[in-house]
C-alpha cells in the first residue's frame, strides 16, 4: 500500500514538474534563428536542383526591363547585403520616427478602425508613413486630420484587397523635410486615382 | 530561473499539504498546477528546446541547402547568370513547398493554450504572443506543417479535399457566422495567370489613362466626361465613366459591370487580380507570403518589423523564432510557384504514351462534351484560352501593379534595402523554362511543362477562365463579404486541372462536377439551366470533357 502511494505521489509530482517546466519554457526570448547577414548565400548548391533546359533569357548579361509609365524605380537598390540593414539608423532618425509615430497614433486613437502601419524618416526629418482605414470616408477623415496636424501632407491613396485581411483603404503619406503637399479632397471618391 | 520557479512552487505546495496522505499531496500539486492559471502548456518556444529540436531533427532550411539571401540572386543576374539564379531559386522553392517545418524552424505559431496549429480561428486568445495578437493580424491557422498538408490532391502542388478546407475570421469576430471557409486550389500554371493579369491590367489602365489625359484630369479645370469601354484579350470588363467637374483638376470615375445586373468584373483600380477565390491578390509573392504566414506559420521578414527596426529581430507569431523566411527565400517560393507546369489533358497524356490510349467511346464523349461546353454557354466565362504576349516572367515584375506599392514591403522597408532589384529580376520563359515535366517532349518540340508557344512567339494559356469577377447568385452567397466585392461575387474558377481536383467551388461544397454546375446561379444561371435541361447523355459528355482536364507531373 505504501509503495502504491509512493508511485502515485511520484507520478503526480513528475506530471506537475513536467507541466511547470514546459510552461516556463514557453515564450521566453526570441532569438535570431541564425539569419544570414553575410551578404552571400548560406546555401551550397541546392540539394534538389533539377537540370534545366537551355533558357533564352539565361546568361545574356544584365536584363534591363522596359519600365512602364508610372513606374517608380527604387534608386536604393544595392545588391550586396544580407537580410539586415547595413547600418543602424542614427539616434536622430529614431527620434524623428518616434515623434511622428506618436503624433499619428494620437490621430488614429480617435478615429475608429484606423492605424499606422509604419513610419520611416531620413536624416533631414523627411518622413513617410502608411496609414490604414476601413473605409474610403474613414481614410479621408484620417488624412484630413493628419494634414491639419502636420501642416500639410503629400499622399497616394489606394484600395487594398487581401484574402486574409479583407478590404482596407491605405495611403502612403509624406510629411516634413520640405516635401510637396496637396489638399485632401472633401469628396472621398476623389481620393483614388487623383 | 526555470528550476527555481518550479522548486519554489512545489515547495510551497508541499508545505500547504503537510500532514496529508502522500497521494493527496500528489493530487493537490497536480490540481493546483492545472487550476492555477499558470500557462502549463507544452509548447516549444524557448531557445534551448528549439536548439534540441534543430540538433535532432535538423534545420529544415539547412537540409534544403540553406536560406537564399536576395543579394545572391540579384548579383547572379547582374553577372549574367540568370539561369543559375532561376535554377537555385526554383530548387529552394521546390524544397520549401514540400517541407514540413518544425518548432526549430519557426513552423506553426503560438496559438495559445498550448496549440501550435488550429483549424479553428482563435480570436478569443488575446494574451501576449497568442493568436489574436500576431503580427500581421492572423485570419486563420496555422493549418498545417507545410504547403503539401493541403495542396496534395492530384499530387504535390495540387488541390485539397474538403478536409483541407481552411476557416478564416479576418475581422476577429469570434462568431462562426462571420467566418469563411475556403477549399484549397491547385497551383499549376500560376506564372501564366500572373502574366495574363499583368497584360490585361495594362490594357485596361491604358484605356483609362488615355481618357483621363484627354479630359485634362489633374491638369486643367475644364468640365467634361468620357465613357471608356474596358476590354482586353477579347474579355469585356465593363465600362468606366470619367467625369471632370468644372473648377477642379480632380476627376471621378464610375465603373459599371459588363453584364446587366452583374458584378463589377474588376476593382476600381483596374488591376486584374488572378489569385484567391474572389480575386483578392494580384501577384504571386503577395499570395505566397500571406499563405506562408497564415497557413503554415512561416513568417517572412518582408511582413515584420519596420523600416527603422531590423525585421530579423521580430517574432510576429509568438513561437520564439525570428527571421524565419528571408526575402530571397520568398523570391524562391514565388519563382517555384510561377514556374509550375501548365495543366494538361488526358488526351494529351495518351497521345504521349504516358497513359493508355483512350477508348473511342471516351474520345467521342469528350468531343461531344466540348461542343456542349460552348453551346450551353459555359465558355462565355470559362474562356478556353488567352494569350500572353510577353512570355518572360520576372520576379520582381516590371509592371508596378504586380509589385508592392512604391517598391516597399509591407513592413515599410524598400525593395532596395533587401537587394530586390526591379531592374535585375530573376526571370524565365513561360514557353521554355519550367523545370517540371521537362523530360517529356510534345509534338511541337516543346516540353509538357511549358506553355504552348504559338507562331508569333506568344504563350497560349488554356485556363478555361476569364480572370473576371461574377455575381454567382444568392445560392452561393456567403454570410460575410470577404473583400467588399459582394457576398455572392467570385472570380471565375479556372477549369484547367479540374478533373484532378474535386471537390469544387470556393468551400468545396460540390463533391462532383455535376453538383458544381447545378450550384451555379446569378450570371451563370442560364448556362446552369441549359445543363439541367440537357439529356443525361449530354450531361455525361460535358462531365467527360471536364474530367479530361487534369494535372500531371512526371516526378
Of the pLDDT bands very low, low, confident and very high (cuts 50, 70, 90), residue B167 is very high
SS3 for B168-202 is ECCCCCCCHHHCEEECCCCCCCHHHHHHHHHHHHH
- Classified as helix, coil or strand, B381 is coil
Distance CA A50, CA B440 (A): 14
B11 interaction partners in chain A (CB closer than 8 Å): none
| Cross-chain Cβ contact A27/B110 below 8 Å | yes
Distance CA B60, CA B100 (A): 8
Residue B534 has pLDDT above 90, yes or no: yes
Which of B338-354 are b and which e, b meaning 16 or more Cβ less than 10 Å from the residue's Cβ?
bbbbbbbbbbbbbeeee
Nearest to A74 among B9, B77, B416 (CB): B416
Of the pLDDT bands very low, low, confident and very high (cuts 50, 70, 90), residue B241 is very high
- Classified as helix, coil or strand, B109 is coil
Distance CA B219, CA A33 (A): 52
- Nearest Cα neighbor of B142 from B126, B121, B170, B161 is B121
Distance CA B420, CA B158 (A): 29
Locus of grid cell 510576429 = B316
Nearest to A27 among B84, B129, B249 (CB): B129
Locus of grid cell 497536480 = B30
Residue B10 has pLDDT above 50, yes or no: no
For B487, residues 6+ apart whose C-beta sits below 8 A from its C-beta are: B477, B478, B479, B480, B481
Residue B435 has pLDDT above 80, yes or no: yes
Chain A stretch 40-79, residues whose beta carbon is closer than 8 A to a beta carbon of chain B: 40-79
B447 interaction partners in chain A (CB closer than 8 Å): 53
In this prediction, residue A80 carries a pLDDT of 32
Locus of grid cell 503624433 = A103
Give yes or no for A112 touching B (CB within 8 A).
no
| Cross-chain Cβ contact B308/A25 below 8 Å | no
- Classified as helix, coil or strand, B441 is strand
Chosen from B83, B328, B478, B482 to mutate, greatest number of chain A CBs within 10 A: B83
Locus of grid cell 523554362 = B433
A76 interaction partners in chain B (CB closer than 8 Å): 414, 416-417
Q: What is the ipTM of this complex?
A: 0.84
pLDDT in tens, chain A (194 residues): 333 333 333 443 344 333 333 333 222 222 223 333 322 223 333 333 333 233 333 222 222 222 233 323 333 333 333 465 556 788 899 899 999 999 999 999 999 999 999 999 988 889 999 999 999 999 999 999 999 999 999 999 999 999 998 999 999 999 998 889 999 999 998 898 76
A85 interaction partners in chain B (CB closer than 8 Å): 310, 417
| Cross-chain Cβ contact B406/A72 below 8 Å | yes
Distance CA B441, CA B439 (A): 6
pLDDT digits (tens, 9 = 90+) for B24-45: 444 444 444 343 334 568 898 8
pLDDT digits (tens, 9 = 90+) for B183-238: 999 999 999 999 999 999 999 999 999 999 999 998 998 999 999 999 999 999 99
Burial class, A64, CB count within 10 angstroms (exposed 0-12 / middle 13-18 / buried 19+): exposed
DSSP structural state of residue B125: -
In this prediction, residue B47 carries a pLDDT of 87
Grid coordinates representing B129 are: 504572443
* Selected residue with higher pLDDT from B297 and A35: B297
Residue B246 has pLDDT above 90, yes or no: no
**What's the N-to-C CA distance of chain A in angstroms?**
85
For B367, residues 6+ apart whose C-beta sits below 8 A from its C-beta are: none
B209 interaction partners in chain A (CB closer than 8 Å): 69
- Find the helix packing angle between B2-16 and B22-35, rounded to 10°: 130
Share of chain B above pLDDT 70, in %: 93
B47 interaction partners in chain A (CB closer than 8 Å): 28-29, 31
Grid coordinates representing B162 are: 474538403
- Mean of pLDDT values over B266-284: 97
What is the Cβ-side half-sphere exposure of residue B515, based on CA atoms within 13 angstroms? 10
- Mean of pLDDT values over B380-386: 98
| Cross-chain Cβ contact A57/B128 below 8 Å | no
In this prediction, residue B302 carries a pLDDT of 92
Nearest to B424 among A18, A46, A63 (CB): A63
CB B527, CB B377: distance < 8 Å:
yes
Smallest CA–CA separation between B544 and chain A, in Å?
Answer: 33
| Cross-chain Cβ contact B26/A13 below 8 Å | yes
DSSP assignment string, chain A = -HHHHHHHHHHHHHHHHHHHHHHHHSS---EE-----SSS-S-SS-TTPPP-PPPTTSSSS---PPPPTT----TT------SS-SSPPPHHHHHHHHHHHHHHHHHHTTSTT-EEEEEEE-TT--EEEEEEESSHHHHHHHHHHHHHHHT-BEEEEEEEEETTTEEEEEEEEEESTT---BPPPSSGGGTTT-
Residue B338 has pLDDT above 60, yes or no: yes
CB B105, CB B57: distance < 8 Å:
no
Distance CA B147, CA B187 (A): 11
In this prediction, residue B248 carries a pLDDT of 85
DSSP assignment string, B261-308 = T---SS-TT-----BTTTT-BSSHHHHHHHHHHHHH---BTTTSSBTT
Q: For residue B495, report the phi and psi dihedrals to the nearest 5 degrees.
A: -85, -5
Listed range (A118-127, B267-276, B482-491) with the worst mean pLDDT? A118-127
Grid coordinates representing A134 are: 476601413
Nearest to B71 among A25, A39, A76 (CB): A39
A127 interaction partners in chain B (CB closer than 8 Å): none
Chosen from A74, A98, A192 to mutate, greatest number of chain B CBs within 10 A: A74
Give yes or no for A19 touching B (CB within 8 A).
yes
In this prediction, residue B358 carries a pLDDT of 98
Distance CA A174, CA A181 (A): 8
Residue B385 has pLDDT above 80, yes or no: yes
Distance (Å) of CA B540 to CA B63, B80, B154, B361, B547 = 48, 53, 22, 12, 10
SS3 for B240-266 is EEEEECCCCCCEEEEEECCCCCCCCCC
Chosen from A14, A57, A87 to mutate, greatest number of chain B CBs within 10 A: A57
Nearest to B312 among A63, A84, A170 (CB): A84
Chosen from B69, B210, B440, B485 to mutate, greatest number of chain A CBs within 10 A: B69
In this prediction, residue B36 carries a pLDDT of 39
| Cross-chain Cβ contact A32/B323 below 8 Å | yes
Nearest to B170 among A5, A27, A164 (CB): A164
Nearest CA in chain B to A20: B40
Smallest CA–CA separation between B397 and chain A, in Å?
Answer: 9
Chosen from A2, A7, A52 to mutate, greatest number of chain B CBs within 10 A: A52
Distance CA B279, CA B468 (A): 8
pLDDT digits (tens, 9 = 90+) for B305-337: 777 777 777 899 999 999 899 999 999 999 999
Chosen from B419, B485, B487 to mutate, greatest number of chain A CBs within 10 A: B419
In this prediction, residue A24 carries a pLDDT of 32
CB B101, CB B148: distance < 8 Å:
no
Smallest CA–CA separation between B56 and chain A, in Å?
Answer: 16
| Cross-chain Cβ contact B406/A120 below 8 Å | no
* Beta-carbon count within 10 A of A80 CB: 11
In this prediction, residue B28 carries a pLDDT of 41
| Cross-chain Cβ contact A19/B268 below 8 Å | no
Strands A31-32 and B321-322, bridge-based pairing = parallel
Nearest CA in chain A to B245: A190
Amino acid at each position: 500500500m505504501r509503495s502504491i502511494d509512493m508511485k502515485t505521489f511520484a507520478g503526480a509530482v513528475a506530471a506537475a514538474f513536467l507541466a511547470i517546466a514546459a510552461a516556463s519554457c514557453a515564450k521566453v526570448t526570441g532569438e535570431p534563428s541564425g539569419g544570414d547577414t553575410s551578404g552571400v548565400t548560406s546555401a551550397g548548391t541546392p540539394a534538389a536542383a533539377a537540370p534545366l533546359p537551355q533558357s533564352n533569357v539565361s546568361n545574356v548579361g544584365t536584363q534591363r526591363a522596359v519600365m512602364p509609365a508610372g513606374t517608380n524605380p527604387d534608386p536604393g537598390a544595392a545588391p550586396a547585403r544580407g537580410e539586415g540593414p547595413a547600418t543602424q539608423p542614427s539616434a536622430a532618425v529614431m527620434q524623428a520616427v518616434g515623434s511622428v509615430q506618436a503624433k499619428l497614433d494620437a490621430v488614429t486613437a480617435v478615429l475608429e478602425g484606423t492605424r499606422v502601419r509604419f513610419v520611416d524618416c531620413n536624416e533631414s526629418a523627411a518622413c513617410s508613413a502608411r496609414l490604414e482605414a476601413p473605409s474610403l470616408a474613414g481614410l479621408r477623415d484620417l488624412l484630413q486630420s493628419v494634414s491639419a496636424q502636420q501642416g500639410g501632407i503629400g499622399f497616394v491613396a489606394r484600395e487594398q484587397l487581401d484574402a486574409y485581411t479583407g478590404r482596407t483603404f491605405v495611403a502612403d503619406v509624406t510629411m516634413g523635410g520640405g516635401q510637396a503637399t496637396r489638399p485632401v479632397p472633401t469628396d472621398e471618391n476623389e481620393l483614388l486615382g487623383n | 530561473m526555470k528550476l527555481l520557479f518550479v522548486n519554489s512552487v512545489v515547495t510551497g505546495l508541499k508545505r500547504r499539504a503537510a500532514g496529508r496522505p502522500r497521494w493527496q499531496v500528489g493530487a493537490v500539486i497536480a490540481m493546483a498546477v492545472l487550476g492555477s492559471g499558470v500557462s502549463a502548456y507544452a509548447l516549444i518556444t524557448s531557445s534551448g528546446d528549439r536548439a534540441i529540436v534543430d540538433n535532432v531533427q535538423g534545420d529544415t532550411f539547412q537540409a534544403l541547402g540553406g536560406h537564399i539571401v536576395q543579394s545572391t540572386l540579384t548579383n547572379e543576374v547582374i553577372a549574367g547568370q540568370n539561369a543559375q539564379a532561376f535554377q537555385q531559386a526554383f530548387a529552394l522553392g521546390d524544397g520549401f513547398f514540400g517541407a514540413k517545418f518544425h518548432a526549430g524552424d519557426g513552423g506553426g505559431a503560438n496559438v495559445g493554450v498550448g496549440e501550435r496549429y488550429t483549424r479553428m480561428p482563435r480570436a478569443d486568445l488575446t494574451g501576449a504572443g497568442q493568436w489574436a495578437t500576431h503580427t500581421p493580424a492572423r485570419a486563420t491557422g496555422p493549418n498545417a506543417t507545410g504547403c503539401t498538408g493541403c495542396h496534395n490532391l492530384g499530387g504535390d502542388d495540387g488541390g485539397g479535399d474538403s478536409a483541407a478546407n481552411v476557416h478564416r475570421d479576418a475581422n476577429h469576430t469570434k462568431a462562426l457566422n462571420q467566418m469563411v471557409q475556403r477549399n484549397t486550389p491547385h497551383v499549376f500554371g500560376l506564372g501564366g495567370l500572373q502574366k495574363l493579369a499583368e497584360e490585361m491590367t495594362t490594357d485596361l489602365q491604358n484605356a483609362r489613362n488615355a481618357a483621363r489625359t484627354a479630359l485634362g484630369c489633374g491638369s486643367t479645370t475644364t468640365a467634361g466626361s468620357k465613357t471608356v469601354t474596358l476590354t482586353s484579350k477579347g474579355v469585356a470588363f465593363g465600362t468606366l465613366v470619367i467625369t471632370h467637374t468644372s473648377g477642379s483638376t480632380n476627376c471621378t470615375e464610375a465603373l459599371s459591370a459588363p453584364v446587366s445586373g452583374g458584378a463589377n468584373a474588376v476593382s476600381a483600380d483596374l488591376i486584374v487580380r488572378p489569385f484567391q477565390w474572389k480575386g483578392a491578390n494580384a501577384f504571386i509573392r503577395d499570395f505566397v507570403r500571406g499563405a506562408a504566414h497564415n497557413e503554415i506559420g512561416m513568417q517572412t521578414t518582408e511582413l515584420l518589423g519596420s523600416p527603422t527596426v531590423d525585421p530579423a529581430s521580430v517574432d510576429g507569431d509568438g513561437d520564439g523564432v525570428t527571421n524565419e523566411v528571408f526575402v530571397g527565400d520568398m523570391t524562391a517560393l514565388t519563382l517555384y510557384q510561377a514556374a509550375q507546369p501548365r495543366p494538361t489533358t488526358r488526351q494529351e497524356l495518351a497521345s504521349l504514351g504516358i497513359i493508355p490510349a483512350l477508348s473511342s467511346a471516351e474520345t467521342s464523349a469528350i468531343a461531344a462534351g466540348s461542343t456542349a461546353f460552348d453551346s450551353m454557354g459555359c465558355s462565355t466565362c470559362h474562356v478556353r484560352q488567352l494569350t500572353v504576349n510577353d512570355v518572360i516572367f520576372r520576379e520582381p515584375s516590371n509592371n508596378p501593379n504586380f509589385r508592392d506599392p512604391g517598391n516597399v514591403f509591407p513592413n515599410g522597408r524598400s525593395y532596395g534595402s533587401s537587394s530586390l532589384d526591379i531592374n535585375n529580376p530573376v526571370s524565365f520563359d513561360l514557353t521554355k523554362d519550367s523545370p517540371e515535366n521537362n523530360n517529356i517532349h510534345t509534338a511541337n518540340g516543346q516540353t509538357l511543362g511549358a506553355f504552348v508557344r504559338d507562331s508569333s512567339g506568344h504563350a497560349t494559356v488554356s485556363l478555361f477562365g476569364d480572370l473576371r469577377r461574377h455575381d454567382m447568385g444568392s445560392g452561393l452567397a456567403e454570410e460575410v463579404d470577404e473583400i467588399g466585392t459582394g457576398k455572392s461575387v467570385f472570380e471565375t474558377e479556372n477549369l484547367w486541372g479540374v478533373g484532378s481536383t474535386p471537390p469544387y467551388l470556393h468551400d468545396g461544397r460540390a463533391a462532383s462536377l455535376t453538383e458544381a454546375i447545378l450550384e451555379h446561379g446569378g450570371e451563370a444561371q442560364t448556362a446552369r439551366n441549359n445543363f439541367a435541361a440537357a439529356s443525361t447523355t449530354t450531361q455525361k459528355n460535358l462531365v467527360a470533357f471536364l474530367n479530361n482536364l487534369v494535372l500531371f507531373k512526371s516526378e
